A = this chain, B = another copy of it.
Amino acid sequence: MKKLLLLAAPLLLAQAPPPSLVNTSADDIAANAPGAHWLDINPDHIMVMDSAAGRMVIQLAPQFAPQHVAAIQKLVRAGRFDDGRIVRVQDNYVVQWAARPESGKEPVSQPPDVREQRVRPERLPAEYERPLADVAFTPSPFKDSYAEAGFVSGWQAARDTSTGTVWLAHCYGTVGVGRDMPPDTGDGAELYAVIGHGPRHLDRNIANVGRVLAGIEPHAALPRGTEALGFYKDERQRTRITRVRLASQIPGFPKWQMMDTASPSFAQVVQARANRTGFFVRQAGAADLCTLKVAVREVK
């Protein structure tokens, strides 16, 4: 007997729910949304990372962390992530990877006390939030434990009207920049992707620079590191990053799109995720920000 947890299947409830709850699934709504409800993703803002585990496609968010994204694009164009390493996998938290050190001669397998001697390439400002005034923020209709949840042109975000700022939320698949204790030291050469429950307490404490569009699965399934914070103990445990390029550098790379979170179709997706049918005998009537994923797609 193959038991399922979730089915986007015909309604099989003993009692039919009230008509307002009979809706199509979020996936169906996205699949049938008109082209005008989708936004093209600039291929300069897509980072394609090939590792021994597989290919991970990452969308960068220059509107939230312009200097970090520019630094990352520069590192990618210089080939600095080629022969990098996945250095840390912490369960229910992050997978983290590092570019080759600047000199090209100090492998990331060096112990931290040796690697700390190298000169840092640049120090970027703490791009943890940005002014709210000049972006269009679509509020989520549901309560949020942390702030006011919503969306900014295809991204899960949160705002604080008292500070007049908005920021990318930490959810499954969010990509951020590793940093040391002083808050301005992340340089984009060490990045992480969230592989657990959305750690929203990191919001406004770290520069979020993007999210995984595809290929997180084999990276989320890497063995957890056994050292403190999930760092790997030695070089042979690390997964090699073979090559990282921007989509704009790869001839014939497919176009990607994200749903326009200001569109009527996305508002329907939000309601469908809050009021699931089929398998569900009771609709939640709400959904938290990280559950309100924004559909993305490769355009064939």
Contact = CB atoms under 8 A, between A and B. Distances in A.
Interface in A220-265: 220-224, 229, 231
Q: What is the interface of chain A mostly: helix, strand, loop, or mixed?
A: loop
B231 A201 contact: no
A181 B126 CA distance: 49
B146 A145 contact: no
Report the copy number of this chain in the oligomer: 2
A168 to B, nearest CB: 15
A181 B9 contact: yes
Given A142-B145, A144-B145, A181-B279, A5 B202 contact: yes
Given A12-B181, A217-B224, A224-B217, A288 B145 contact: yes
A163 to B, nearest CB: 10
Interface string A115-132: 110101000001010000
Given A143-B144, A221-B222, A288-B288, A4 B180 contact: yes
Contact of A205 (B173, B182, B273, B282): B282
Interface residues of A, number: 79
Interface string A68-90: 00000000000000000001010
Interface of A: 1-7, 9, 12, 14, 87, 89, 91-94, 96, 112, 115-116, 118, 120, 126, 128, 142-146, 171-173, 178-183, 185-186, 190, 192, 195-206, 216-218, 220-224, 229, 231, 273-274, 276, 278-282, 284, 286-291
8 contacts: A1-B118, A2-B115, A2-B116, A5-B192, A128-B281, A128-B282, A199-B291, A201-B284
